[in-house]
Amino acid sequence: MSEHENGCEVVTLPNGLRAIRERACGEVMHPGSGPLMEAESVYVTPSRMAARMGEGGDPLVLFDVGLGAATNAITAWQVSEAQGPTARRLEIVSFEHDLDALRLALEPENADALGLTQSGANAWAAARSLLEHGRHETPRTLWRLCLGDFRASLAEVPDGSADVVFWDLFSPRTAPALWTVTMFQALRRACREGASLHTYSASTSTRSGLLLGGFAVGVGERTGDRDETTIAATRPEDLARPLGASWLGRLARSSVPFPNDVPKDPAAWAEALARVQGCPQFRER
Ligand SMILES: C[S@@+](CC[C@H](N)C(=O)[O-])C[C@H]1O[C@@H](n2cnc3c(N)ncnc32)[C@H](O)[C@@H]1O
Give the tens place of pLDDT for each residue, 30-82: 988 899 999 999 999 999 999 999 998 899 999 999 999 999 999 999 999 99
* Ligand 1 nearest atom to the CA of residue 64, by list position: 6
- As a whole number of angstroms, the distance between CA 123 and CA 136 comes to 10
Q: What is the pLDDT of residues 143-161, one digit of tens each?
A: 999 999 999 999 999 999 9
Q: Tell me, what's the pLDDT at 112?
A: 87
pTM passes above 0.75: yes
CATH architecture, domain 33-279: 3-Layer(aba) Sandwich (3.40)
Residue of 168, 197, 200 to test ligand 1 pocket, by largest number of atoms within 8 Å of CB: 168
| pLDDT surpassing 90 at residue 117 | no
> Does 2 have pLDDT greater than 70?
no
Residue of 17, 43, 97 to test ligand 1 pocket, by largest number of atoms within 8 Å of CB: 97
Residue nearest atom 14 in ligand 1 by C-alpha distance:
66
Instruction: Give the integer Cα–Cα distance in Å for 212 and 214.
Output: 5
Q: What distance in angstroms lies between residue 155's CA and the mean position of ligand 1's atoms? A: 18
**Exposure string for 123-136, b = 16+ CB within 10 A, e = fewer:** bbebbbebbeeeeb
Per DSSP bridges, beta strands 162-167 and 141-147 are: unpaired
CB within 6 Å of ligand 1 — which residues?
29, 39, 66-72, 95-98, 101, 149-150, 168-170, 175, 178
pLDDT of residue 284: 66
Helix (H, G, I), strand (E, B) or coil at 26: coil
Neighbours of 269 (CB within 10 A): 16
